[in-house]
Amino acid sequence: MARRMKDIQPFHVMAILARARELEASGRSVIHMEIGEPDFVTPAPILKAGQQAMTQGLTHYTPATGLPELREAIAGFYQDKYGQSISSKRIIVTPGASGALLLTLGVLINPGDQVLMADPGYPCNRNFVRFMEGSAVGIPVDGATQYQLNKELIEENWTDSTVAVMLASPSNPTGTLVSGESLKEIAAFVKSKNGYLIVDEIYHGLIYDEEYNTALAVSDDVFVINSFSKYFSMTGWRLGWLVAPDAYINGLDKLAQNLFLAAPTTAQHAALAAFNEDTKAILDKRRDEFKQRRDFLLPALRELGFKISGTPQGAFYLYADCSAFTQDSYQFAIQLLEDEGVAITPGIDFGQNKANTHLRFAYTTSLENLREGVKRIRAYLA
Amino acid sequence: MARRMKDIQPFHVMAILARARELEASGRSVIHMEIGEPDFVTPAPILKAGQQAMTQGLTHYTPATGLPELREAIAGFYQDKYGQSISSKRIIVTPGASGALLLTLGVLINPGDQVLMADPGYPCNRNFVRFMEGSAVGIPVDGATQYQLNKELIEENWTDSTVAVMLASPSNPTGTLVSGESLKEIAAFVKSKNGYLIVDEIYHGLIYDEEYNTALAVSDDVFVINSFSKYFSMTGWRLGWLVAPDAYINGLDKLAQNLFLAAPTTAQHAALAAFNEDTKAILDKRRDEFKQRRDFLLPALRELGFKISGTPQGAFYLYADCSAFTQDSYQFAIQLLEDEGVAITPGIDFGQNKANTHLRFAYTTSLENLREGVKRIRAYLA
C-alpha cells in the first residue's frame, strides 16, 4: 500500500461503535454518546423537497459548482444570518464538508507544505493534509486559549514551510469558539505571511449563548467550510459548501469536475428548503434542545469528577479531562462500554495532546438517555 | 495555487456545454451529442425506493463501506449476471465511480509512481493520478488494438517506476472492449511485475452485441470500479462501487472514513431497488434503445466522411476521426455549434494522441434528435 496509509489512522470510535452495535444485537442497552451526528431526522420540509425533486425526475448531474439557485440561497443565508454580502459565485456546493476540505487543500497544498492546526482537533483534517502529501502540525491547546489557536501560537509555530492555518469554530471535539477579536489577529498575521486561512464553520447554527459571526465578516481572503450536516440535520445527504476567494473559484471548479463531478442532485434540491421559515422553526427548536442537553450534561459530568474547561459554546460535544480516573482513556472507554453500556469517544481520535486523559462526550441523544448515561457512569466510577 | 493545478486541465466540453446553454437561452435549438450521461430519468422503482427511505427518515450516515444490504445486493448482481461469487466484504460503496477511483489510487499510488493508461481515455483518470502526485503515462492506441492497451503495449511501456495499469472496458471515449483473452494476458503480466490492475467497468450493462464478463472472472487481484450512473441511469445520485482484493479492504475503509465518511444514504436505499426485475426490464429496454441509436449513428457518421474503426461495442460513444474535414477538432466543434447548433466533444478532452483530428459523439439523445443532428452536420460540411 502507498506510504500515506501508514500515517492515516482509523477512527478508534469506529471500534467502539462496532462493539456497541454487537452488544445491542445481543440484547444489551447502550447509551450512545460517541456519535458525531444529530439524532434528529432531516426536517420534514427538506424531505418533502427531496421527494418532489424525485417525482419531477431531477436525477441528472448538476454543474460541478452546484445548482445556481442553491448557491444563491446560501448567499442569501449569509445575508440574512450574518449581514454579509457574499457573491454566489464565491460559493461552491460540495459532497459534504469533506468534499470542501478536499478541494481546498487540493488547490492550496504542495507536497511538504506545513499546515497548522489545534491539537485536539477534527482527525480528518490532519489526514486530508497527509493525503495531499503535506504535513499537518498539531499545536497543543488547552482551556487557557479555549482549545483554539491564537495569533501568538501561530506565530511561534510558523516556519518557512508553513503555508496555511486551519481553525474550527465551534471546534470538534471541544465545542469552543474562536473569538472575533482573535480571528482578526490571526487573519492579519496569516496575510502578512502570504499564508492561507481555512475556517471550518460546520457547527455554526449550533451555538448556544452568544452572538457570533462568520469568518467571512473578518476577511474575504479566508476559505470557509460549511455543511448541511449538523445544524440542518442532513448528515446522510452528503452536502456541504465552500466559500473561497474569487481568484480560486476557477481552480476549485476544475478540481471539482475531476474529483467528484458534482454534489448529489436530490440533496441539492432538498436543501433549497433548508432556509425556509418552516425549517428554521424546526431547527431552532432542535438547537434549544441541544442547549438543554449541554446545560444538563456539563454540570453532571463535573459533579462526577471530570474536568471541563469553561463553558463550551457550541457544537454538541464536551471534551473532558478524565485524569482523576485513568491514564488510558481508550481503555476507560472500552471498559465503560463493556461494563455499563455507555459509548464515548477516546481522546486519541483527536490528536496526541493529553489524548490519553481526555474523552469526548457527544450530546446527540435525548435528555432522558443522557440522564441514564450519567447514572451508569456514576455506577462505573463507584 | 498548488503546482498540481497547472497540470490538471478543465474539460473543454464544459465550454461547449456552457455555450450551448447560452445559445438555447437565446432561443436557438441545440442537439446535444456532447453529454456523457444517459438522457433517461432514473427508473421509477428506484425513485420510489428513494422516496420511501425519506418517508422512513433514513437520513443518517451509513457505514463508510456502505449499507451492508446494498453490498450484499451488489454481490448478488455479480452472481446473477456474471456467475461470479464475490464476497460482499470485498465491495465498497462509494460516492460515484469518482469516489472509487480516489480510494483506489489513494491506497496504491506513491508520489512519482507511474500508471499506464490508454490515450485516448477518460480524462479524470490522469488527473486523479496527478492528484496523488503520481505520473499518468498515456499510451497511444488506435483501431488496431480496438483503442485498448494489450500485453505488448504494457510490456513496452513498463519501467521501474510503473506500479499500475488502468483499463476501461467499455472505454470512454471509444466504446470499445478489452477482450477476455487480452485481459488474461494483461493480468498475468501485471502480476508478474507485482503491479496493480485497475479496471473501470462503469459502462457494463451497456454492451450491445456480445457476451462479456467482468474482470473479476479473470483475477481476484484486480481493482474493479463500477457505478450506478450509466446502465442504472443514476448519474445525479453520485453512487458507485469498488471491488478490491481482500488485503486492501481495511485500508480502503480507513481512507473512506477520512475522505468522504460515506456515500449518500438515500441513494444507497434507492439503489436497493436497482436489481429488481421491474427495474431490469426498464433498463434492458433502454439498453436496446441505445443500441438502436448506435446502429443509426455509426453508419450515418461514416456516410458523412468521419472514420470510425470497427464497431464500438458498448457505452454510448463513437470516437470519430475527422481529419477529412479539419486538423483542429476543437475549432470544428465550436464552429459546428455556432453555425448549426450541434454540440459534440473535441478529442483534446481525452488525451494528446491525434486529439486534434478526433471528436466524440455521444448518443445520449433520442433517435429523432440524432437524425436532426446528422442532418445539421451534413449541412455544415456541405
Tens of pLDDT along A116-125?
999 999 999 9
pLDDT band for B10, please (50, 70, 90 cuts).
confident
CB-nearest partner of A2 from B37, B110, B236: B110
pLDDT greater than 90 at residue B174 = yes
pLDDT band for A236, please (50, 70, 90 cuts).
very high
With CB atoms and an 8 Å threshold, state whether B107 touches A1: yes
User: How far is residue B113's CA from residue B164's CA, in Å, rounded to a whole number?
Assistant: 8
With CB atoms and an 8 Å threshold, state whether A10 touches B54: no
- For A4-41+278-381, CATH number? 3.90.1150.10
pLDDT greater than 90 at residue A14 = no
By C-alpha distance, the chain A residue nearest B94 is A260
With CB atoms and an 8 Å threshold, state whether B267 touches A266: yes
Output the pLDDT for position A82. 96
With CB atoms and an 8 Å threshold, state whether A236 touches B264: yes
Q: What strands, in cross-sheet order, belong to the sheet with A135-140?
A: A91-94, A240-243, A223-227, A196-200, A162-168, A114-119, A135-140
By C-alpha distance, the chain A residue nearest B252 is A5
Class of domain A44-276: alpha beta
With CB atoms and an 8 Å threshold, state whether A235 touches B61: yes
User: For the purposes of burial, counting CB atoms within 10 Å of the CB of A236, is it exposed (0-12), middle (13-18) or buried (19 or more)?
Assistant: buried
B83 min Cα distance to partner chain A (Å): 30
> Where in chain B are the domains?
4-42+278-381, 44-276
Output the pLDDT for position B282. 98
A108 min Cα distance to partner chain B (Å): 5
Of the candidates A82, A85, A103, the residue with the CA atom closest to the CA atom of residue A94: A103
Of the candidates A91, A150, A84, A77, the residue with the CA atom closest to the CA atom of residue A116: A150
What is the arithmetic mean of pLDDT over A118-133?
A: 97
Element (H, E) at B164: strand B162-168
B171 min Cα distance to partner chain A (Å): 17
* DSSP assigned state of A228: S
What is the arithmetic mean of pLDDT over B25-31?
A: 97
Q: pLDDT > 90: what percent of chain A?
A: 97
Cβ within 8 Å of residue B7, ≥6 positions away: B127, B130
What is the arithmetic mean of pLDDT over B61-82?
A: 97
3-state SS string over A75-98?
A: HHHHHHHHCCCCCHHHEEEECHHH
pLDDT band for A193, please (50, 70, 90 cuts).
very high
CB pairs under 8 A between A and B: 186
With CB atoms and an 8 Å threshold, state whether B265 touches A5: no
At residue B213, the 3 state secondary structure works out as coil
What is the arithmetic mean of pLDDT over B201-225?
A: 95
Average pLDDT of chain A is: 97
What is the arithmetic mean of pLDDT over A55-69?
A: 96
What is the arithmetic mean of pLDDT over A198-217?
A: 95
User: How far is residue A304's CA from residue B352's CA, in Å, rounded to a whole number?
Assistant: 67
CB B33 within 8 Å of CB B363? yes
Of the candidates A322, A348, A349, A350, the residue with the CA atom closest to the CA atom of residue A336: A322
CB A94 within 8 Å of CB A261? no
pLDDT tens for each residue of B306-361: 999 999 999 999 999 999 999 999 999 999 999 999 999 999 999 999 999 999 99
- For B4-42+278-381, CATH number? 3.90.1150.10
Output the pLDDT for position B14. 86
CB-nearest partner of B236 from A5, A62, A96: A62
Of the candidates A178, A169, A98, A125, the residue with the CA atom closest to the CA atom of residue A315: A169
Output the pLDDT for position A10. 87
Cβ within 8 Å of residue A369, ≥6 positions away: A31, A32
pLDDT tens for each residue of B352-366: 999 999 999 999 999
pLDDT greater than 90 at residue A211 = no
What is the arithmetic mean of pLDDT over A190-194?
A: 98
Residue indicated by cell numbers 497547472? B6
Optimal mutation site among B70, B230, B232, B258, interface A, most CBs of chain A within 10 A: B258
pLDDT tens for each residue of B34-49: 999 999 999 999 999 9
Asked whether the CA dihedral B319, B321, B322, B328 is positive or negative, the reply is: positive
Output the pLDDT for position B97. 97
Residue indicated by cell numbers 499500475? B164
Output the pLDDT for position A210. 84
Residues of B in contact with A109 (CB under 8 A): 2
Residues of A in contact with B237 (CB under 8 A): 59, 264-266
B43 min Cα distance to partner chain A (Å): 9
Output the pLDDT for position A9. 87
Average pLDDT of chain B is: 97
At residue B244, the 3 state secondary structure works out as coil
With CB atoms and an 8 Å threshold, state whether B50 touches A54: yes
**What does each C-alpha distance from B96 to B99, B202, B225 come to in angstroms?**
5, 10, 10
pLDDT greater than 90 at residue B210 = no
Residues of B in contact with A54 (CB under 8 A): 42, 47, 50-51
User: How far is residue A268's CA from residue A71's CA, in Å, rounded to a whole number?
Assistant: 10
The angle, 0 to 180 degrees and rounded to 10, between the axes of the packed helices A44-55 and B44-55 is 170
Residues of A in contact with B362 (CB under 8 A): none
pLDDT tens for each residue of B120-164: 999 999 999 999 999 999 999 999 999 999 999 999 999 999 999
Note the pTM of the prediction, 2 decimals.
Answer: 0.97
Of the candidates B295, B315, B75, the residue with the CA atom closest to the CA atom of residue B178: B315
What is the arithmetic mean of pLDDT over B6-24?
A: 91
Q: Which residues pair with A226 in a beta bridge?
A: A241
* DSSP assigned state of B143: G
CB-nearest partner of B258 from A8, A254, A266: A8
CB-nearest partner of A61 from B235, B250, B265: B235
Q: Say which amino acid occupies A337.
A: L
Q: How far apart are the first and last CA of chain B?
A: 46
A299 min Cα distance to partner chain B (Å): 29
CB B232 within 8 Å of CB B217? no
CB count in 10 Å sphere of residue A170 = 28
